[in-house]
């Protein structure tokens, strides 16, 4: 069944209609924030729903805080590639390999 994802910020549904800094992937449910600002600090909760199952489930809140020292810590600029040694796909099916870079 098709799933739909939304995010709640400080108990209010995120409205991303005109927001070019935030994006919700409807494929993975991930929330992406670009250029974090002080007003982005707060609690984020993911909600997943299925119209077919007529059900909605909420995750636990995740807090976003700003570091006072401006250091990215574990998120200092780096590029990592982590693929399994072998990826299998059936003939005629689709395969997806992701590449992800994170940093400031």
Eight-class DSSP state of 76? S
Beta bridge partners of 45: 8
The set of residues, in sequence order, having a beta carbon less than 8 Å from that of 39 and lying 6+ positions away, is none
pLDDT grade, residue 94 (50/70/90)?
confident
Mean pLDDT across the stretch 23-39?
A: 84
Task: Give the total number of structural domains in the chain.
Answer: 1
* Residue 58 confidence (pLDDT) above 80: yes
Q: Give me the pLDDT at residue 97, please.
A: 65
Which domain CATH number covers 60?
2.60.40.10
Domain that includes residue 88, residue range: 3-102
Structure pTM? 0.62
Q: Give me the pLDDT at residue 72, please.
A: 58
């Amino acid at each position: 069944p098709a799933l739909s994802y939304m995010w709640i910020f400080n108990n209010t549904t995120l409205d991303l209609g005109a927001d070019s800094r935030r994006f919700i992937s409807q494929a993975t449910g991930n929330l992406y924030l670009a250029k974090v600002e002080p007003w982005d600090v707060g609690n984020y909760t993911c909600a997943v729903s299925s119209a077919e199952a007529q059900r909605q489930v909420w995750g636990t809140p995740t807090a976003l805080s700003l570091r006072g020292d401006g250091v990215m810590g574990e998120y200092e600029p780096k590029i990592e590639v982590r693929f399994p040694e072998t990826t299998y796909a059936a003939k005629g099916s689709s395969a997806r390999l992701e590449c992800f870079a994170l940093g400031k």
